[in-house]
Amino acid sequence: MQNNSRQQILAILKKYWGYTSFLPLQEDTISSILAGKDTLTMLATGGGKSLCFQLPALMKEGMAVVISPLISLMKDQVDALKDMGVAAEVLNSSLAPEEQGRVVNLVSTGKMKLLYISPERLQQDRTRQLLQSVPLSFFVIDEAHCISHWGHDFREDYRNLRIIKEWFKPISVHAFTATATEEVQKDILKELRLENPQTHIGPVDRPNLTYRVWLRSQIISQVTDLLKKHAGEAGIIYCLRRDDVDTLSARLNALGFENLPYHAGMDDDTRRLHQDRFAREEVDVMVATIAFGMGIDRSNIRFVIHTAMPKSIEHYHQETGRAGRDGLPAHCYLFYGGSDFLTWKSLLEDSPHKEVLLEKLQSLYHFCSQPHCRHRVLANYFGQKYGKASCDACDYCLNELEMVEDPLIVSQKILSCVYRVHQVSGIGFGAGHIANVLKGKQSDQVETWGHHGISTFGLMAEESVAFIRYMIEQLIGQGFLRREGEFSTLFLTDSARKVLKGEQTPVLVKPLVAAKKEEITQKGRKKKEEEWAEIDQELFQVLRSKRAELARTQGVPAFIIFGDKSLRDMARIKPTTREAFATVYGVGDYKMHAYADAFIKIIQNFLRLGMG
CB of 565 to ligand ADP, least distance (A): 7
CB of 568 to ligand ADP, least distance (A): 13
CB of 537 to ligand ADP, least distance (A): 21
Q: Among 46, 119, 151, 293, which residue sits at the site for ligand ADP (rule: CB under 6 A)?
A: 46
β-pairing verdict for 198-201 and 114-117: unpaired
* DSSP-derived 3-state class of residue 319: helix
Q: Which is nearer to ligand ADP, 249 or 299 (CB)?
A: 299
- Specify the stretch interacting with ligand ADP by CB under 6 A; choose among 17-25, 66-74, 83-91, 520-528: 17-25
- Between helix 431-439 and helix 465-477 the angle, nearest 10°, is 130
- Specify the stretch interacting with ligand ADP by CB under 6 A; choose among 47-55, 205-213, 363-371, 501-509: 47-55
Q: Which is nearer to ligand ADP, 68 or 489 (CB)?
A: 68
- Specify the stretch interacting with ligand ADP by CB under 6 A; choose among 43-51, 384-392, 408-416, 571-579: 43-51
**Angstrom distance (rounded) from CA 468 to CA 473:** 9
Q: Which is nearer to ligand ADP, 431 or 560 (CB)?
A: 560
Angle in degrees, CA 384, 363, 141, rounded to 5: 55
- Specify the stretch interacting with ligand ADP by CB under 6 A; choose among 45-53, 192-200, 403-411, 438-446: 45-53
Q: Among 16, 34, 42, 48, which residue sits at the site for ligand ADP (rule: CB under 6 A)?
A: 48
> Of residues 551-610, which lie at the interface with ligand ADP (CB under 6 A)?
563
Are 229 and 521 contacting, i.e. CB atoms less than 8 angstroms apart? yes
CB of 39 to ligand ADP, least distance (A): 15
Q: Among 9, 16, 22, 480, which residue sits at the site for ligand ADP (rule: CB under 6 A)?
A: 22
**Angstrom distance (rounded) from CA 84 to CA 114:** 13
Q: Which phi and psi angles does 385 have, rounded to 5°?
A: -80, 150
Name 210's bridge partners: 331
Q: Among 43, 304, 305, 356, which residue sits at the site for ligand ADP (rule: CB under 6 A)?
A: 43
CB of 322 to ligand ADP, least distance (A): 9
How many chain residues bind ligand ADP (CB under 6 A)? 16
SS (H, E, C) 210-257: EEEEEECCCHHHHHHHHHHHCCCCEEEEECCCHHHHHHHHHHHHHCCC
b/e burial code for range 208-232 (CB count within 10 A of at least 16 → b): bbbbbbbbbeebeebbbebbebbee
Radius of gyration of the chain (CA): 27
Are 437 and 417 contacting, i.e. CB atoms less than 8 angstroms apart? yes
Amino acid found at 211: Y
**Angstrom distance (rounded) from CA 208 to CA 203:** 13
Closest CA to 143 of 164, 157, 132: 157
CB of 17 to ligand ADP, least distance (A): 6
* DSSP-derived 3-state class of residue 71: helix
CB of 125 to ligand ADP, least distance (A): 31
CB of 607 to ligand ADP, least distance (A): 28
Closest CA to 285 of 340, 223, 337: 223
- CA 200, distance to chain mean position in Å, is 21
**Angstrom distance (rounded) from CA 214 to CA 367:** 11
Q: Which is nearer to ligand ADP, 45 or 489 (CB)?
A: 45
Amino acid found at 286: M
Contact code string over 261-300 relative to ligand ADP, x by CB under 6 A:
--------------------------------------x-
The H-or-E segment that residue 554 falls in is: helix 537-554
Are 86 and 16 contacting, i.e. CB atoms less than 8 angstroms apart? yes
Determine, following the binding rule CB under 6 A, whether residue 56 of this chain makes contact with ligand ADP: no
- Specify the stretch interacting with ligand ADP by CB under 6 A; choose among 20-28, 97-105, 158-166, 449-457: 20-28
- Specify the stretch interacting with ligand ADP by CB under 6 A; choose among 46-54, 497-505, 514-522, 531-539: 46-54
- Specify the stretch interacting with ligand ADP by CB under 6 A; choose among 42-50, 109-117, 254-262, 539-547: 42-50
CB of 299 to ligand ADP, least distance (A): 5
Q: Which is nearer to ligand ADP, 83 or 400 (CB)?
A: 83
- Specify the stretch interacting with ligand ADP by CB under 6 A; choose among 40-48, 272-280, 456-464, 484-492: 40-48
Sign of the dihedral defined by the CA atoms of residues 536, 21, 29, 593, in that order: positive
Are 283 and 241 contacting, i.e. CB atoms less than 8 angstroms apart? no
Q: Which is nearer to ligand ADP, 483 or 547 (CB)?
A: 547
Q: Among 31, 39, 45, 566, which residue sits at the site for ligand ADP (rule: CB under 6 A)?
A: 45
**Angstrom distance (rounded) from CA 314 to CA 169:** 32
Beta-carbon-side half-sphere exposure of residue 350 (alpha carbons within 13 Å): 1
- Specify the stretch interacting with ligand ADP by CB under 6 A; choose among 19-27, 57-65, 330-338, 354-362: 19-27
CB of 577 to ligand ADP, least distance (A): 23
Q: Which is nearer to ligand ADP, 433 or 591 (CB)?
A: 591
**Angstrom distance (rounded) from CA 362 to CA 36:** 41
The H-or-E segment that residue 40 falls in is: strand 39-42
Determine, following the binding rule CB under 6 A, whether residue 74 of this chain makes contact with ligand ADP: no
Are 188 and 178 contacting, i.e. CB atoms less than 8 angstroms apart? no
> Of residues 300-339, which lie at the interface with ligand ADP (CB under 6 A)?
325-326
Q: Among 1, 23, 95, 582, which residue sits at the site for ligand ADP (rule: CB under 6 A)?
A: 23
- Specify the stretch interacting with ligand ADP by CB under 6 A; choose among 15-23, 29-37, 281-289, 375-383: 15-23
β-pairing verdict for 209-215 and 260-262: unpaired
Closest residue to ligand ADP, Cβ-based? Answer: 48
Determine, following the binding rule CB under 6 A, whether residue 19 of this chain makes contact with ligand ADP: yes
**Angstrom distance (rounded) from CA 300 to CA 543:** 14
**Angstrom distance (rounded) from CA 89 to CA 81:** 9
CB of 266 to ligand ADP, least distance (A): 26
Contact positions toward ligand ADP, by CB under 6 A? Answer: 19, 22-23, 26, 43, 45-51, 299, 325-326, 563
